[in-house]
Structure 1
Amino acid sequence: MTALTAWPGQAQDWLDERGKPAWIAAMVLGFIFFWPVGLALLFYMIWSKRMFTGSCRHSRHHGHHRHGRSYGMPSSGNSAFDAYKADTLKRLEEEQEAFSAFLQRLREAKDKQEFDAFMDDRARAARDGAGPDTPSADPAA
């Protein structure tokens, strides 16, 4: 993720650490300097329920954390559904890690195959009397 795409999340985290007063101050400053920014912040605060909660920080602790970030999904109020959601997210994370490991093994196998082909070509060239720096006579190489 580039710095250009990461700043909104960093700004949100920074404001969340300081609580609702920081969000309100950002919204007021947005209205003062450029009213569409203030309006956008107001809509975001209403949509994300930051206006109606006692603290912005509590919602970050209900979600599951991965690399210090929450999924942004607060408790639904139904413990059975929340348990199901947590299990499903955990299973998906495990599947993603397994798939990443599989892709890594594929890359390593391809690298080994290419290296073995290089060594075979080099050995064939040495057997045929060509030097290691001389290209092989094989047109496919």
Structure 2
Amino acid sequence: MSSVATWPSQAEDWLDQRGKGAWIAAMVLSFIFFWPLGLVLLAYMIWSKRMFTGCSKRTHTRHQVRHAFKSSGNSAFDAYKAETLRRLEDEQEAFEAFLQRLRDAKDKSEFDDFMDDRARKAKETKEAEPVEL
């Protein structure tokens, strides 16, 4: 039973290793031999974004993570790379905090304008009402 459950993932990995051309060839062949399977493959390729990238997102992410932390063999460069990555992360956090402060200031400004407008309208309607004695 486990071999039945794993054959789709094995086929997917096999096609991923061979690239986008293998996916397109599999789709074309499935259209030729059994067109509903071709439609299923086409939908899957679009849904998983295999149509637009060379490999699956999962494989691409694993490659990026493995490459980012791989030692170059030069300790000075590795230290520089680690420090640069840390500095970039700090700058990204500072920039995101800055953007949040800008959003908060804009929200406060819009709220203050709304409250001023509301108070002005309330004052105008109160002045426009006839005074009853």
Normalising by structure 1, what TM-score? 0.45
Higher percent of residues as helix: 2
Larger RCO: 1 or 2 (CA < 8 Å, sep 6+)? 2
Who wins on radius of gyration, i.e. which is larger? 2
Normalising by structure 2, what TM-score? 0.48
